[in-house]
């Protein structure tokens, strides 16, 4: 029995046609409002239409037999037909009241069976009642299915055969002859077989449709679930990416801020240590000098760790910028070898350079980053070598449009079980050996930089025999390559004859260090401003020969101070040297577009700082006003 609900009546203001259609729909569904396309509802509609047609036919024939004056009319038969029509109407009423479809179908079949038998016995109107039997198989198979339909058809054939036997034996008189009944029985059987075949095909088709519908619904459900899961996965992936980006930015921000906070005290530690180590007026004792050298070595080690951490963070965040250009290998390799030779000489390590076509060998690379890569590899080759060992640097064409740079040492080598960890950050080999300094980040940075320059890096190592690192970079046309420029450290200049320097800095320890350094240049005057706005006023008032500027100031940023200085015609010509411990990416990007002479990073390298000051004041002297004095 299908799930039912009360039919929804049409609205009061609906057109008469809509109300008639709703009444007809309500009638043919028997008041059942289940799925209109379901098998049960289709049979309910058939039952109602079948009963309605039968009732109308019986009322018509019965009325004709009762009121007709024809000699063939039989009022008694008409009365029975009208009674059967009323019983059919009661069946429809029973269906609407009880909503029991199966029972209503059975009662309908019984009533139809009786009417068919009665028509066979009486002949109906003008002996046409026998033809109503052809309707019976259709109703039986459609309402009761194949199995139930054959029971009803079998029962009707039994009745039919019974009448034939009675007619044959002369026990009862019927309006039809035996031959007529026999021919009709054969036709009736053929119609029943055809209806059974049709019902089989229709059932198979309905089963196929239902199965296909179920499979389609299941596939749609699975597809919807997969789409939902994919959407959730994409949302989760997007959220994870957002979280990773936020974490990466937070890490970079943290490292940048920590770099600033660590570089500031390191500036005083390394600066004053350098002053003590190079003080010729009051030289240190050997023990004091050894202690200061230890302070300098430890401070520089910490500074190297900070710088490499920042490089690694910038590389991982994709914020490192490279300028790829043709670079001649020969000058860059020899410059880096000269830089590390003092380390090698201290351990009697021989440095050997073998360059193929030194003048024409060139690669596409970033000059400063390639120099950093070579310094990392050469420093490691010396650090992990034996006293009296050998470091060999070679460069040659690989034959496939690339240049190979190799750095080979005769040191301790790398154990095979640690080969996979060579380029992993913070992995150090022979870290238990106290003489092996380092941060464990250099090779990781080296691999990232080589990859960003479009190259590859590999290595071979034999324990106790040595290691060879090989860099492969794209070859550049030799005609377009320029010799690698020297590092940014300025050459020695003559001490300035005199001048005024304005230092805008809020940290008094940094100011004290710069003042102590400038004591070695007694001809220079130092002005100090602890805030950005005060520094702008003093720059306009004193027009210093050189301005030293910190980025992090308590009132306005150093970048804003620099912008206002350069937008003022009175102060725009003052050379500016940025002295900062800041490593924030946005500040570095702003400085790249600013017109600054030099950017010195804290902790200060005292000799480099003095060379920079001397070179700037000697090359572009600018007289200071007479009222210049020192502000602390």
Q: SS3 letters for 508-568?
A: HHHHHHHHHHHCCCCCEEEEEECCHHHHHHHHHHHCCCEEEECCCCCCCCHHHHHHHHHHC
DSSP summary character for residue 74: -
Cα of first residue to Cα of last residue in the chain, in angstroms, is: 100
Integer Cα distance of 331 and 447 in angstroms: 22
**Pair of tokens at residue 562:** 């620099």
Beta bridge partners of 500: 525
Question: HSE-up of 29 (CA within 13 Å, CB side)?
Answer: 23
Number of H helices, E strands in the chain: 15, 13
**Pair of tokens at residue 51:** 């009963």
Burial of 427 (0-12, 13-18, 19+ CB in 10 A): middle
In contact, 166 and 157? CB cutoff 8 Å: no
**Pair of tokens at residue 22:** 């709703």
**β-pair type (576-580, 598-601):** parallel
In contact, 308 and 442? CB cutoff 8 Å: yes
**Pair of tokens at residue 423:** 């380029």
Task: Taking the CA atoms of 471, 473, 479 and 485 in sequence, report the sign of the dihedral they define.
Answer: negative
The total of other beta-carbon atoms located within 10 Å of residue 519's CB is: 11
Integer Cα distance of 383 and 339 in angstroms: 14
39-67 vs 75-98: helix axis angle to the nearest 10? 150
Q: What pLDDT, on the 0 to 100 scale, is given for residue 624?
A: 42
Q: Can you tell me whether residue 406 is helix, strand or coil?
A: strand
Segments making up each domain of the chain, as ranges: 16-176, 207-320, 323-483, 499-619
**Pair of tokens at residue 628:** 């210049």
In contact, 561 and 514? CB cutoff 8 Å: no
Q: What pLDDT, on the 0 to 100 scale, is given for residue 38?
A: 67
Integer Cα distance of 160 and 116 in angstroms: 10
Q: What pLDDT, on the 0 to 100 scale, is given for residue 580?
A: 80
Integer Cα distance of 48 and 58 in angstroms: 15
**Pair of tokens at residue 15:** 């057109």
The total of other beta-carbon atoms located within 10 Å of residue 116's CB is: 19
Integer Cα distance of 176 and 231 in angstroms: 76
Domains 323-483 and 499-619 equal at CATH topology level: no
Helix (H) or strand (E) holding 457: strand 456-462
Report the alpha-carbon angle 198-202-204, nearest 5: 120
> Which parts of the chain have pLDDT scores under 50?
1-7, 434-435, 487-496, 621-632
DSSP summary character for residue 475: B
Within 278-356, where are the H helices? 286-317, 329-345
Architecture of domain 499-619 in this structure: 3-Layer(aba) Sandwich (3.40)
- The structure tokens 């906070």 sit at 261
DSSP state string for 181-222: HHHHHHHHHHHHHHHHHHHHHHHHHHHHHHHHHHHHHHHHHH
Q: Can you tell me whether residue 469 is helix, strand or coil?
A: strand
Q: Which residues contact 572 (CB under 8 A, 6 or more apart)?
A: 565, 566
Q: Which of 376, 337, 339, 614 has the alpha carbon at shortest distance from 490?
A: 614
Q: Can you tell me whether residue 350 is helix, strand or coil?
A: strand
- The structure tokens 């992090």 sit at 552
Q: What pLDDT, on the 0 to 100 scale, is given for residue 124?
A: 67
**What is the pTM assigned to this prediction?**
0.48
Residue 299, CA distances (Å) to 113, 262, 264, 267, 274 in order: 112, 11, 12, 9, 11
Architecture of domain 323-483 in this structure: 2-Layer Sandwich (3.30)
- The structure tokens 């029971």 sit at 151
Q: What pLDDT, on the 0 to 100 scale, is given for residue 491?
A: 38
Q: Can you tell me whether residue 295 is helix, strand or coil?
A: helix
508-518 vs 178-277: helix axis angle to the nearest 10? 40
DSSP summary character for residue 627: T
The total of other beta-carbon atoms located within 10 Å of residue 46's CB is: 16
Q: What pLDDT, on the 0 to 100 scale, is given for residue 389?
A: 92
Q: What pLDDT, on the 0 to 100 scale, is given for residue 80?
A: 83
Burial of 126 (0-12, 13-18, 19+ CB in 10 A): exposed
**Pair of tokens at residue 163:** 């009448």
Integer Cα distance of 569 and 553 in angstroms: 23
- Residue 356 phi/psi, 5-degree rounding, is -85, 125
């Amino acid at each position: 029995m299908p799930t039912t609900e009360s039919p929804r009546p049409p609205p009061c203001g609906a057109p008469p046609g809509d109300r008639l259609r709703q009444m007809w729909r309500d009638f043919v569904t028997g008041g059942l409002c289940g799925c209109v396309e379901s098998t049960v509802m289709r049979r309910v509609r058939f039952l109602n239409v079948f009963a309605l047609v039968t009732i109308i036919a019986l009322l018509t024939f019965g009325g004709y037999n009762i009121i007709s004056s024809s000699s063939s009319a039989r009022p008694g038969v008409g009365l029975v037909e009208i009674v059967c029509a009323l019983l059919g109407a009661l069946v429809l009423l029973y269906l609407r009241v009880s909503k029991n479809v199966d029972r209503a179908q059975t009662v309908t079949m019984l009533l139809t069976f009786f009417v068919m038998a009665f028509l066979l016995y009486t002949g109906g109107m003008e002996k046409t009642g026998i033809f109503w039997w052809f309707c019976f198989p259709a109703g039986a198979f459609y309402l009761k299915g194949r199995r139930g339909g054959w029971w009803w058809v079998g029962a009707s054939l039994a009745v039919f055969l019974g009448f034939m036997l009675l007619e044959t034996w002369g026990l009862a008189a019927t309006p039809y002859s035996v031959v007529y009944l026999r021919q009709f029985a054969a036709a009736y059987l053929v119609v029943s077989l055809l209806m059974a075949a049709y019902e089989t095909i229709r059932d198979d088709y309905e089963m196929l449709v239902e199965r296909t519908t179920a499979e389609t619904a299941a596939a749609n459900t699975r597809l919807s679930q997969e789409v939902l899961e994919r959407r959730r996965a994409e949302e989760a992936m997007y959220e994870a990416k957002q979280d990773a980006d936020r974490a990466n930015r937070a890490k970079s921000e943290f490292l940048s801020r920590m770099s600033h906070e660590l570089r500031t005290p390191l500036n005083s530690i390394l600066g004053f240590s350098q002053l003590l180590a190079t003080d010729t007026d009051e030289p240190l004792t050997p023990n004091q000098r050894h202690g200061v050298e230890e302070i300098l070595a430890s401070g520089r080690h910490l500074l190297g760790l900070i710088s490499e951490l920042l490089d690694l963070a910038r590389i991982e965040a994709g914020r490192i910028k490279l300028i790829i250009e043709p670079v001649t290998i020969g000058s860059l390799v020899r410059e880096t070898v000269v830089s590390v030779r003092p380390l090698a000489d201290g351990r009697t390590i021989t440095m050997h350079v073998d360059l193929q076509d030194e003048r024409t060998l060139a690669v596409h690379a970033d000059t400063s980053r390639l120099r950093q890569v070579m310094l990392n590899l050469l420093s490691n080759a010396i650090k992990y070598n034996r006293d009296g060992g050998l470091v060999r640097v070679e460069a040659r064409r690989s034959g496939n449009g690339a240049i190979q740079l190799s750095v080979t040492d005769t040191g301790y080598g790398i154990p095979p079980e640690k080969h996979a960890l060579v380029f992993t950050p913070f992995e150090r080999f022979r870290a238990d050996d106290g003489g092996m300094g380092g941060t464990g980040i250099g090779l990781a940075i080296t691999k990232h930089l080589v990859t960003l320059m479009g190259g590859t890096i590999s290595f071979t190592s034999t324990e106790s025999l040595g290691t060879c690192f090989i860099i492969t970079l794209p070859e550049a046309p030799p005609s377009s390559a320029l010799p690698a420029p020297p590092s940014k450290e300025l050459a020695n200049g003559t001490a300035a004859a005199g001048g005024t320097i304005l230092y805008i800095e809020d940290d008094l320890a940094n100011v004290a260090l710069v003042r102590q350094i400038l004591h070695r240049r007694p001809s220079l005057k130092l002005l100090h401003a602890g805030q950005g706005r005060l520094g702008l006023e003093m720059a306009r008032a004193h027009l210093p020969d050189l301005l030293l500027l910190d980025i992090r100031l308590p009132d306005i940023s150093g970048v804003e101070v620099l912008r206002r200085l350069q937008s003022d015609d009175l102060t725009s010509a003052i050379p500016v040297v940025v002295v900062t411990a800041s490593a924030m990416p946005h500040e570095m990007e702003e400085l790249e577009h600013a017109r600054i002479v030099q950017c010195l990073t804290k902790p200060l390298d005292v000799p480099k700082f003095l060379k920079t000051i001397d070179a700037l004041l000697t090359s572009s002297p600018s007289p200071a006003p007479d009222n210049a004095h020192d502000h602390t």
